[in-house]
Homo-oligomer: A and B are copies of this chain.
Amino acid sequence: MAPRAASKTAESSDKVSVICRALRRAIIEQALEPGAKLPEDSLGERFGVSRTIARHALGQLAAEGLVELRRNRIAVVATPSWQEARDAFDIRIELERLVVRQLAGKLTKAQIATLNAHVDAEDGARGGSDPVSIRLATEFHILLAHMTNSPILVRYVSEVAYRCCLTLSLYSRPHSSECAINEHRAIIAALVKGDEGKVMSLMHSHLDSVASRALVAPAPQRGRDLLDILAPYAEEGDGDRVVKLPKVVRAR
């Protein structure tokens, strides 16, 4: 099986993809919460580009489901409904089962080392519910997808994983993800062992447990008061990476 070229899915030029990456990261690290406003001007100013580019980036992120674009209205970070979150997890389960099915018993030594290193990093950044470890946990799954060498699979797994990540900030209590790390280790072990069925069911139950830990109430009142949540971020954001919110307003 010859290694295929690692083609970039789309991510047109450069400036656009830089903004996309930055916003994606800000969103999944919950520096930008669902409902946060993303005015084209502010984005452009923050990243030193024109509105045209910022707009294009927002378009891409909207295509990924991370932001919502309403005609003539300010773009906002997407606020998936509980049902959409559930759907996303269902899809994710199927996709990631496919990933591990393709990978079982086929990992190279280098790949195994990479995976172990990543999980070690997850272990290092402990804190369970802090944004960075959530991001790392998500990236573990994306890393797996990359190893299939299937750009399409990478794209879909990434997208849906980001979406799931986004829902965690909406519907999850400060859940601990340490157990998830152990599950990651178990998945690696099963992959190395090459037991297809085992690793598929491991992945299934792993994601299922993440989902059920996260999506607790059928329809919680949107968690806490958005105003409170946003407050600490609105004034300074993350300094270097995150667009500063122009005003603190109750989103919607």
Interface residues of A (CB under 8 A from B): 4, 9-10, 12-14, 16, 52, 55-56, 59-60, 62-65, 69, 71, 81, 83-84, 87-88, 90-91, 94-95, 97-98, 150-153, 155-156, 160, 163
Which 8 A-B pairs give the minimum distances between C-beta atoms? A10-B62, A87-B150, A63-B63, A94-B94, A10-B63, A12-B69, A87-B152, A94-B98
Asked whether A12 and B90 contact (CB < 8 A) given A81-B4, A163-B152, the answer is no
Which residue on chain B has the smallest CB distance to residue A83? B4
What number of copies of this chain does the assembly contain?
Answer: 2
C-alpha gap A103/B94 in the complex (Å): 16
Which one of B52, B55, B91, B155 lies within 8 Å of A95 (CB-CB)?
A: B91
Asked whether A59 and B12 contact (CB < 8 A) given A88-B152, A152-B160, the answer is yes
Main secondary structure, interface of A, reads: helix
C-alpha gap A147/B95 in the complex (Å): 20
Further contacts, 5 of them, CB under 8 A, given A4-B81, A12-B59: A10-B69, A16-B59, A65-B152, A84-B152, A94-B95
C-alpha gap A14/B91 in the complex (Å): 29
Asked whether A63 and B65 contact (CB < 8 A) given A87-B153, A91-B152, A152-B87, the answer is no
A71 touching B14, Cβ below 8 Å: yes
A9 touching B69, Cβ below 8 Å: no
Shortest CB distance A229–B (Å): 23
Q: What residues of B have a CB within 8 angstroms of the CB of A90 in the complex?
A: 98
C-alpha gap A160/B13 in the complex (Å): 24
C-alpha gap A83/B160 in the complex (Å): 22
Q: What residues of B have a CB within 8 angstroms of the CB of A56 in the complex?
A: 55-56, 59
Asked whether A59 and B62 contact (CB < 8 A) given A95-B91, A156-B156, the answer is no
